[in-house]
Amino acid sequence: MDIVERKRAEAEKKRLEIQLQRAQKMEAIGILAGGIAHDFNNLLMAIRGNASLMLLDIDSLHPHHEMLKNIERLVDSGARLTQQLLAYAMKRKYEVKPINLNRLVKESCDTFGRTRKDITIHYELAPDLRPIEANQGQMEQVLLNLFVNAADAMPEGGDIVMKTRNTTFEAAKQKTYDIKSGNYVSLTVTDTGTGMDKKTTLHIFDPFFTGKELGRGTGLGLASVYDIVKGHGGYIDVDSQKDHGTTFSIHLPASEKEFQKSINPAEGFIRGTGMVLLVDDEEAIREVGQKWLEAMGYSVLTAQEGKEAIRVYKENRDSIDIVLLDMIMPVLGGRETYEALKEINPEVKVLLLSGYSIDTQAADTLKKGYDGFIQKPFTMKELSEKIRGVLGDK
């Protein structure tokens, strides 16, 4: 082997070693993120539960009403943060639905604006903007990472211009994208920051690439933006000049579906009848869950772990209409408990609960024949709809 070939082989070996190290790093991040998300979602579930219960007992004129609604909104934000934590590290899939990008932009900008008073945000939002079919949490992550990138480029303050418009795939014909025909929604984020040179813009979306000084960036922010946009069937451009600011342009497929109106989490739940067995190892969740279910009209039995759940079910089999079963519990987990309940009664109705997303801990169990799944932290309305879906019109 000559010197050139040996150097080429060594370079390839080094490249593969770096790829392996990156893959191992992402796997470790994913495992850690999953555990944090599960525990954090349980905590949020208890907070939301208590706030929702208090809202049931006070009217809209009560001085605490708006504060309790704010708590529920903050819980929603916290839940989306856990999704964001997992989105890039674990490549998880999340539910998509028609959303109003203008509303999401305004809400995200309002939140960011409170952290950087020296940055002025300007809006040029199309009033007739089409819906996009997307996951709200992931779209919020896109906006957050673009805001952070812009803020880092404007350490002494500046301006950000948020612009939305309706467009079509024709706008991408000049680009080297494999893009489907149809209608699109465009979002541009322009800052008045320091800008980037051409060499930097060529690598800006590469994982682990960062132009920030050591310790100030992971190189995953814009990589995750690219990943999310591509995952939604869209594409992203960057246009930047040194000392002349930067513009990120995102184009996402428009949806023919209508926006879903937001509903107060403590209102609009579906009432029902029957007996529910609630199984969860977290005492706070059992207490809140029992009060929620009783407010909906159900009788409730509780169990704090799998073995107790099996015993309670055996004793009350003829009375229990549905089991709400947490997936992650000590000693006897949700999967094993589920299988034991199916052995007792193959027709048992089970709604699985988890702080993880549906494509993780619950996935194998769901394949075996399930009645439903709901991810914490959920709302009273969501829980009541899931139960109704399992029980029908009972």
**Band (116; pLDDT cuts 50, 70, 90):** confident
Whole-number Å distance between alpha carbons of 65 and 86: 33
Q: What is the pLDDT of residue 174?
A: 54
What digits encode the pLDDT tens for the residues 193-213?
989 888 887 778 776 545 554
Please compute, for residue 179, the number of CA atoms within 13 A of its CA located in the half-sphere on the CB side.
24
**Band (328; pLDDT cuts 50, 70, 90):** confident
Q: What is the pLDDT of residue 258?
A: 76
Structure tokens at 41: 């979602």
Q: What is the CATH number assigned to the segment(s) 275-391?
A: 3.40.50.2300
For the cut 70, the answer to whether the pLDDT of residue 322 exceeds it is yes
Q: What is the pLDDT of residue 369?
A: 60
For the cut 90, the answer to whether the pLDDT of residue 113 exceeds it is no
Read off the pLDDT of each residue in 13-35 and give the average, rounded to a whole number: 69
**Band (379; pLDDT cuts 50, 70, 90):** confident
Whole-number Å distance between alpha carbons of 334 and 337: 5
Q: What is the pLDDT of residue 392?
A: 80
Strand partners, 75: none
Q: What is the pLDDT of residue 91?
A: 54
DSSP 314-367: HHTTTTEEEEEEES--SSS-HHHHHHHHHHH-TT--EEEEESS-TTTTTHHHHH
For the cut 70, the answer to whether the pLDDT of residue 29 exceeds it is no
Structure tokens at 14: 């080094």
For the cut 50, the answer to whether the pLDDT of residue 383 exceeds it is yes
Q: What is the pLDDT of residue 166?
A: 94
Break the chain into its structural domains and give their ranges: 9-89, 101-253, 275-391
Q: Is 116 exposed, middle or buried, given 0-12, 13-18 or 19+ CB atoms closer than 10 A? A: middle
Read off the pLDDT of each residue in 6-14 and give the average, rounded to a whole number: 77
Read off the pLDDT of each residue in 4-10 and give the average, rounded to a whole number: 77
Read off the pLDDT of each residue in 130-154 and give the average, rounded to a whole number: 88
Helices (H) and strands (E) in the chain, counts: 11, 12
Q: What is the pLDDT of residue 57?
A: 80
**Band (218; pLDDT cuts 50, 70, 90):** very low
Do the beta carbons of residue 65 and residue 122 sit within 8 Å? no
Share of the chain above pLDDT 90, in %: 31
For the cut 60, the answer to whether the pLDDT of residue 132 exceeds it is yes
Whole-number Å distance between alpha carbons of 50 and 72: 10
Please state which architecture CATH assigns to domain 101-253: 2-Layer Sandwich (3.30)
Please state which architecture CATH assigns to domain 9-89: Orthogonal Bundle (1.10)
For the cut 90, the answer to whether the pLDDT of residue 185 exceeds it is yes
Q: Which of 337, 381, 368, 334 is nearest to 353 (CA)?
A: 334
Q: What is the pLDDT of residue 331?
A: 83
What digits encode the pLDDT tens for the residues 70-92?
888 788 777 766 766 655 555 55
Do the beta carbons of residue 313 and residue 350 sit within 8 Å? no
